[in-house]
Amino acid sequence: MSQLNHQDPVIQHYEMHLTVNKKKPDCTKVCLSGKYGYNCNVSCEERKCSGNSTCDRNNGECVNGCLKGWELPDCITECRHHTFGSSCLFSCTERHCKGDKSSCDVQDGVCQDGCQPGWTNANCTEKCDDSSYGPGCVFKCYRRHCLNKAVSCNRLDGSCGGECENNYNGIDCTAATGPENNRDSITIIALAVVAAILFVLLIVSVLWHFRSRNSQRNNVARQFISSTSPDRTEAEPSGVDSGSGYVNAGQTNEYEQLDVLNSPQNDYDKITGV
pLDDT tens figures, 174-224: 998 865 445 556 677 788 888 889 888 888 888 887 777 777 767 766 666
Domain residue ranges in the chain: 9-78, 85-127, 138-198
Residues 31-44, mean pLDDT to the nearest whole number: 92
Residue 164 or 233, more confident:
164
For 39, counting Cβ atoms within 10 Å of its Cβ (0-12 exposed, 13-18 middle, 19+ buried), the class is: middle
* Element (DSSP H or E) covering residue 119: strand 119-120
Share of the chain above pLDDT 90, in %: 43
Other C-beta atoms within 10 Å of 36: how many?
Answer: 21
Residues 62-85, mean pLDDT to the nearest whole number: 94
Say what the pLDDT of residue 270 is. Answer: 62
Say what the pLDDT of residue 240 is. Answer: 45
Say what the pLDDT of residue 157 is. Answer: 94
Residue 239 or 76, more confident:
76
Say what the pLDDT of residue 27 is. Answer: 78
Q: Nearest-CA neighbor of 158 among 198, 109, 115, 118?
A: 118
Mean pLDDT for the chain?
A: 78
For 74, counting Cβ atoms within 10 Å of its Cβ (0-12 exposed, 13-18 middle, 19+ buried), the class is: buried
Other C-beta atoms within 10 Å of 123: how many?
Answer: 23
State how far the Cα of 43 lies from the Cα of 54, in Å rounded to an integer: 13
pLDDT at 165 over 70: yes
* Element (DSSP H or E) covering residue 210: helix 183-228
Phi, psi of 198 (to 5 degrees): -60, -35
Q: What is the pLDDT of residues 99-115, one digit of tens each?
A: 867 789 999 999 988 99
Share of the chain above pLDDT 70, in %: 66
Residue 239 or 188, more confident:
188
